[in-house]
Structure 1
Amino acid sequence: MTATAAHWPAPTASGPIDATVTVPGSKSVTNRALVLAALAFEPGWLRRPLRSRDTVLMADALRALGVGIEEGVGPDGTGEAWRVIPAGLHGPAAVDVGNAGTVMRFLPPVAALADGPVRFDGDPRSHERPLHGVIDALRGLGARIDDDGRGALPLTVHGGGSLTGGPVEVDASSSSQFVSALLLSGPRFNQGVEVRHTGATLPSMPHIRMTVDMLRAAGAQVDTPEAGGEPNVWRVTPGALLGRDLVVEPDLSNAQPFLAAALITGGRVTIPDWPRQTTQPGDALREIFTAMGGSCELDERGLTLTGTGRVRGIDVDLGDVGELTPGIAAVAALADSESVLRGVAHLRLHETDRLAALTKEINGLGGDVTETADGLRIRPRPLQRGVFHTYDDHRLATAGAVLGLAVPGVEVENVATTAKTLPDFPELWQAMLGTES
């Protein structure tokens, strides 16, 4: 098959990999930190921020609302850092969300605090992603929003300079970002906010814990279910947020394909600066990949995963860590026994319908994947060469690269979509393999 400009020939590993891969900063931390710094009463610093499509979209959106964001080196003269200078939020403004869930969901509450209208729009796929939870909740808190009844983009938030706030109900079954969006701006609402989740399920709880931890570090008072509060209720007290000097952790979910490479090839990969304590969902990889046949060691060098060359199937509930599903599915397709991935029905509403996409693309290479009500059943079969389509989804692209390690002739369509959260992925991948790009 002839590669085209849109098809990236995924390199096949010639043997066990032995590499150290420095992963860029966390998108989830970077974009939450940008919002909190923009709402603070004093300037703050973000050190080692992730520079990717999603974080640049967030920074540009905040600039459009009047926030100063200066890019350069840190206050000690070393390392990349962004200085965030809060200012009065204002419209009229236009926000391009791309296909970034954090931008389309975290910023409408911020826009409600602005003085003037703020128009939100993005990629065609962004119009299909659920936003009704944030829209309905903001209306319940006193905001005026025009969305022509779609519960989705495009929409206009007519900011009045402040928001009453108070108690609100939201069904966050389709995205935990609905809860995080309201909590992040809650300290600036006149009455704070009390968010009550009313749905039957709540995916990606680690991301809500990340939001709470970062709010508290910025000086906010937050009451949570884990701290003895009511189940599924979070309360944020109104108050001033502090400007912080924050070092952004490596993005542990973006470490996944590199750790998977060690597992699949029976090699060894080290990720420097892996935190000992973190709310990032990617930390679950230590347990999951150990269950699939690897061994992990966390020490002063970082996290090192060593594979044996044997990959075991797994039966696992990924409800809290759904973003890891594409990479785990790719590894499972190369395992020696069946896998069942559960608790991830909400992935049908992500950048693409990830369950349908994974099923189609792995099966297109000769695999045997079937969708279940809330996940995937994967029965390993010998795979063959072919094109792995990505649907403009960064995690589909890295999953295709993982498969290519063991299956010669896999071509990943539009690998450039990885720039959403992991800039220079092809170069990092080639460097790990020790080959020329």
Structure 2
Amino acid sequence: MSEPAPVPDPWPAPRPDAPVDRVVRLPGSKSLTNRALLLAALAEGPSVVRRPLRSRDTLLMAAALRALGTGVEDHGDDWAVVPGAWDRDAEVDCGLAGTVMRFVPPVVGLATGSVHFDGDPHMRQRPVGPMLAALSALGVRVDDGGRGALPFTVAGAGSVPGGTVTIDASASSQFVSALLLAGARYDAGVDVRHVGKPVPSLPHIEMTVEMLRQHGVEVDDSDANRWAVRPGPVAAVDHDIEPDLSNAAPFLALAAATGGRVRVTGWPERTTQPGDELREILTLMGCRVEHTGGDLVVEGPERLDGVDLDLHDVGELTPAVAALCALAGSPSHLRGVAHIRGHETDRITALATELGRLGADVTEREDGLSIRPATLHGATFRTYADHRMAHAGVILGLAVDGVRVEDVATTAKTFPDFAGAWSLAVHGGSPS
């Protein structure tokens, strides 16, 4: 793993001087917002996405849909979406948004223009080849120069034959979600069959299936590793976006690491978001977790317990959980997350490197990390332009003096002004 270029003026991670007692309100879910935007663009009529997340990832999705010809306009706190004629050539900037790189190309096949995709330099290393190959097999013209990576061009023909396709989605569940989201508009629908190692982050596919059904799309997911979408219209549906539960991880860790108390408002009773697993994970680490009155309340213990966890389905939580494990009083083993090597950075190697930089006793495994109790010290915690790595750094700063987080602004990917919200949460106040 190459060393990242240094970023000037690393951010001093704030440390509370006593257990905290805070109330936190989170911005909306990136995963739900971008799916809602895409389905609204495919729908039969106008709709509204209420209280969406407005962050770099979702602004890139909105910009991509506008480039194709969809109307996405501010309507107070909401986005009003009006489907349009996709009849133009366009450029799409994916930034570091996997949902843009993977979800938009399947709908471009329905357009009548040529759309070129590119993104940040690291985005050219993130996996997308299997999905592009699947699109080609379904009748979409894709030119990636044989790289199976960004940059690539998709030439729409106005319709897509669709049908049955086999794909290895072991690198990302987004490969499956991308095909399902567009599949109802294909002539024969789409029948996606996964072969290979287990698909990671299955809750995200369940999220996709549930949202498709809300739009009146028929989806058969009764067989393991197979998802079939029948052809048909996509109904126009307004969506209320839930708080982003994965972004709750550092704020709940604030209670866990300080022996304090944090209440996150608006925690849904039922959700397909993987972040809901934080309730069980924090309970296993010794926290008291209560879902009451639509809020989630976490109270931290005197000493955190280490855990042995398979995080395969909730890999995005690994950086925050690993940081808490480094503060625990007993060993931890985090397994099943080999696929997060292909996220915004190789998160396993990055975590092993940066935890070690702070003095953690950590062993890198092919599919995870083993972390044993050790005395930590201050240092610069590098983030590799990865928002979840920044979350890990600020969590460590709750219990370790002198932690400086490099490029904390990378958190804008899914949480605007995270640094301001975090400082308020640590020192007093309610982030919004």
| TM-score, scaled relative to structure 2 | 0.97
Distance 2:7 2:244 in 1: 30
Map of 1:77 onto structure 2: none
**Structure 1 stretches (4+) deviating beyond 4 angstroms?**
none
User: What SS class does the counterpart of residue 153 from structure 1 fall into?
Assistant: coil
> Which residue identity does 1:418 align to in structure 2?
T
Map of 1:173 onto structure 2: 170
**2:421 maps to 1:428:** yes
Equivalent in 69, 72, 97 of residue 100 of structure 1 = 97
Equivalent in 312, 337, 348 of residue 344 of structure 1 = 337
Distance 1:302 1:72 in 2: 27
Equivalent in 157, 162, 186 of residue 160 of structure 1 = 157
Q: Which 10-residue stretch deviates more, 425-434 or 128-137?
A: 425-434
- CA deviation string 1:366-396 (max 9, x = no partner): 1111111211101121100100000000000
**2:78 maps to 1:81:** yes
Give yes or no for contact 2:169–2:195 (8 Å, CA) kept in 1: yes
Give yes or no for contact 1:359–1:370 (8 Å, CA) kept in 2: yes
- CA deviation string 1:235-285 (max 9, x = no partner): 001111111111100000000000001011000001101001000000000
Unaligned runs of 5+ residues in structure 1 are 74-79
**2:311 maps to 1:318:** yes
Give yes or no for contact 2:7–2:407 (8 Å, CA) kept in 1: no
> Which residue identity does 2:248 align to in structure 1?
A
Give yes or no for contact 1:19–1:268 (8 Å, CA) kept in 2: yes
- CA deviation string 1:282-326 (max 9, x = no partner): 000000000001011111150000112210000000000000000
Map of 2:3 onto structure 1: none
**2:270 maps to 1:277:** yes
Map of 1:47 onto structure 2: 50
- CA deviation string 1:4-55 (max 9, x = no partner): 8541000112110100010000000000001000000100101110000000
User: What SS class does the counterpart of residue 190 from structure 1 fall into?
Assistant: coil
**2:132 maps to 1:135:** yes
**2:202 maps to 1:205:** yes
Q: Percent identity?
A: 57
**2:67 maps to 1:64:** yes
Q: Which 10-residue stretch deviates more, 416-425 or 83-92?
A: 83-92
User: Against the structure 1 CA distance between its residues 125 and 361, is the aligned structure 2 distance closer, same or farther, given a 3 Å change threshold?
Assistant: same
> Which residue identity does 1:323 align to in structure 2?
E
Distance 2:165 2:69 in 1: 28
User: What SS class does the counterpart of residue 188 from structure 1 fall into?
Assistant: coil
Map of 1:115 onto structure 2: 112
User: Against the structure 1 CA distance between its residues 46 and 374, is the aligned structure 2 distance closer, same or farther, given a 3 Å change threshold?
Assistant: same
**2:361 maps to 1:368:** yes
Distance 1:259 1:435 in 2: 15
Cα drift, residue 88 of structure 1: 1.4
Give yes or no for contact 1:390–1:412 (8 Å, CA) kept in 2: yes
Unaligned runs of 5+ residues in structure 2 are 1-5
| TM-score, scaled relative to structure 1 | 0.96
- CA deviation string 1:107-160 (max 9, x = no partner): 110111111100000000110011112100000000111100000000000110
Equivalent in 385, 395, 407 of residue 392 of structure 1 = 385
User: What SS class does the counterpart of residue 410 from structure 2 fall into?
Assistant: helix
> Which residue identity does 2:203 align to in structure 1?
P
Distance 2:64 2:359 in 1: 43
Map of 1:242 onto structure 2: 235
Map of 1:264 onto structure 2: 257
Distance 2:83 2:393 in 1: 41
Distance 2:121 2:211 in 1: 31
Distance 1:358 1:203 in 2: 19
Give yes or no for contact 1:270–1:301 (8 Å, CA) kept in 2: no
Q: Which 10-residue stretch deviates more, 376-385 or 5-14?
A: 5-14
Give yes or no for contact 2:7–2:406 (8 Å, CA) kept in 1: no
Distance 2:59 2:103 in 1: 14
Distance 1:415 1:99 in 2: 15
Cα drift, residue 230 of structure 1: 2.6
Cα drift, residue 424 of structure 1: 1.1
Map of 2:400 onto structure 1: 407
Q: How does 1:202-241 map to 2 (within 5 A)?
A: 202-224=199-221, 229-241=222-234
Distance 1:15 1:309 in 2: 12
Distance 2:113 2:238 in 1: 30
Distance 1:254 1:91 in 2: 36
Distance 1:6 1:141 in 2: 49
> Which residue identity does 1:61 align to in structure 2?
A
User: What SS class does the counterpart of residue 253 from structure 1 fall into?
Assistant: coil
- Between the two proteins, the alignment pairs up a number of residues equal to 425
